[in-house]
Structure 1
Amino acid sequence: MEGLDFYIPGAALAVAFACRLPGFSRSWRDPLLRSVSALLLVAVSVFFFAAPPTIAAVNRITGIPNFSAPLVYCILTAFSASCLVLVINWRGGPPEVTRRASRRTITAYGAVIVAMIVLFALGDAPVERLRDLDTYYANTPYMREMIVLYLVSHTVAAVVMSVLCRRWSLVVHGWLRTGLVLIMTGYFLNIGFDAVKYTAVSARWAGYNLDWLSTRVAPPLASASALIIATGFILPLVGQRLADAWRKWSTYRKLGTLWRELRSAAPGGTAAVRISLWSSLDLRLTQREAFIHDGILALDPYFDHALRADSHAAAHAHGAGADEADAVAEAAMLAAAVIARDADPQGTIITSADTRAALPKQAQRDLVGMSRALRHSPVVAAARRRCAARSESSHP
């Protein structure tokens, strides 16, 4: 189908815009989010209205040959303005300074749009050109100036965006850096697109014909740049969400050993809680962590802090670091407390108030480390065996 080289990247940018909508709806007052959303929306319009089938349809509907030319150029100029406004907001600074710079940019590019409309009205372009208008009318008065004006404004924005993304990519990491590198790559291709257009138009000025550069080389460059830029905008958002989801799922799974260890110690009301199969991962993780904390509180009277100190020393002797030793010691004390609780079905053990102590906050924060120690630590296994043997000897 003719025009797919325009519609496909336009659809990719539409997907990027759709991915930004949830964040935009929550924080629509954020100038940066507004700038990103405006840029993506204008970029979608560029590729839709620049497609030859759309150009022909617009010309036919308006009844003006080449009416699509100033329309597409104006949208391209608006895209360039959107890029620069995004640069201004990314750069940050005092809000009033940022707003003033944004207004100046919009005003300047608005003047360019008005100038292009006037130049088209003054020019003479009676022959409809769907793909090669840039070169066909390269020597036509007023049309020539309009073509150069849109190319220059587009180039300025592409260069500035490339420089900004490169500088920013040097000071950030992770998904954001990857996205910035992709955006920068896309804008480098945009500069290549402009260079090809300049070459084809300049060749016409010099009396040569290199129209194939404008009609065959430039469109693929524009499509590739759009797809890469769209990916660059989408990746930090989607990638971060996927990374967060994986981290939560990994934490939920790693807490399984500790959760199973404490099921018999958890209060009956907590153990009875059920959630839907369709419940979110956040809810599942929150419930599991709450379940574990309730189990820890229920075991508090059975904690043997001397055993904890011995297990801490043993973990250090096995080469564990400070954090790992804390997790191993807490896990050993928990495992022993579960056995002690099972050996006291009537709940006759009473610990004085001054000797009862909840788990240290650091251990409570490292639930994953405790769960790992319950599964793998030989220190925990040894503490479990000693406590089980002691329980059997006290209940022949």
Structure 2
Amino acid sequence: MNSLIQLRHTLHQHPEIALEETETARRILDFFKPLQADQTLEKLGGTGLAFVFQGKKPGKRLLFRCELDALPIVDLKESNHQSHVPGKGHLCGHDGHMAIICGVGEKLSQKRPESGDVVLLFQPAEETGEGAQAILNDSRFEEIRPDYAFALHNLPGFPLHQVVLRKGTFAAGSTGMRLHFTGKTSHSAHPDAGINPAQALAQLMQQLPQLPKEIPGFSLLTLIHAELGTLAFGTSAGKGSLSMTLRAFDQEDLDLLIEKAQALAQKIVNQERLKLEVEFVEKFAVSHNDPELYSLVKTAAEKLALSTVDKPEPFTWSEDFGLFSQHCPSFLFGLGAGENCPQLHEGTYDFPDELIETGVEIFWDIIGLAEN
């Protein structure tokens, strides 16, 4: 286990953000070379990696996924493995998730599954919502298309090692949406000679956050950025933009919220004689847990005498793994990182090394249970 902790520390020292994870992928590839996987897929969906361990006889193909990318956030936690890259840090725990999957690889190198295949997937660009789609779009994905897919995420605020479970929606789907307004600049002494987006921005900033009240299930619209013209006191603005994040627990609710937001924006820009361009970024599908896989994961946790808890409501954050749940039965679960652990994406967060062995053992037991 010390080698996995050392690997995690090395990854933590050299974080790479979404779509830049070339050195991280190289380190993972170097780790797996002596493990002699039966098949290795490199540059999957960009920088992704997949290692296939074939069973002794035909059976189901299980995929276990982790993430390669770090965040563009300063690592403030002083330690002997603090980030060496200014302004970047593994502040979501993807370094720990990678170490866990590497530990599963070590076990598979010693003992292949009795039946079926196990695919260990290292996915790029989870933080931006681009990585899962890139993996699925890669023509080689057909070579590893799973019957079942699993992933975990560490969860600060829950007791250390506790397994957090939920049937159905585990985490919300979300999308970033940007509205770009184009009018006409004019002299600020003659604003009536131009078309200024200010009134449209003001109306939309008031009305858009109210739209979730019209959605039957949980949804949320959060304004994150607004821009109007430039800092030129002699000019009445002719351009503006408004950015927001929309999220919901149900994909249909999310689609409805997007539809209503676009319709409202179009109505107001028409009234204000503006042109509208809509842009979507960082799209995350709803993470849906297959009910039939619930007992498999819960049994694995109980076999290890780990505490389990069923979360009554889904998490309001999003996870790129949700896209896999649209393509095969999938299950995402949480692993408590400690009640006093700093929250994800905070500068002082650091993945607890104690969770590596726990994560490895849970995944290993899931492999064993799925064979029976």
Structure whose residues are more often strand by fraction? 2
Query: Larger relative CO (CA 8 A, sep 6+): 1 or 2?
Result: 2
Structure whose residues are more often helix by fraction? 1
Instruction: State which structure, 1 or 2, has the greater radius of gyration over its C-alpha atoms.
Output: 1
Please classify the TM superposition score into its range, dividing by the shorter chain length. Answer: under 0.3
| TM-score of the aligned structures, taking structure 2 as reference length | 0.25
| TM-score of the aligned structures, taking structure 1 as reference length | 0.24
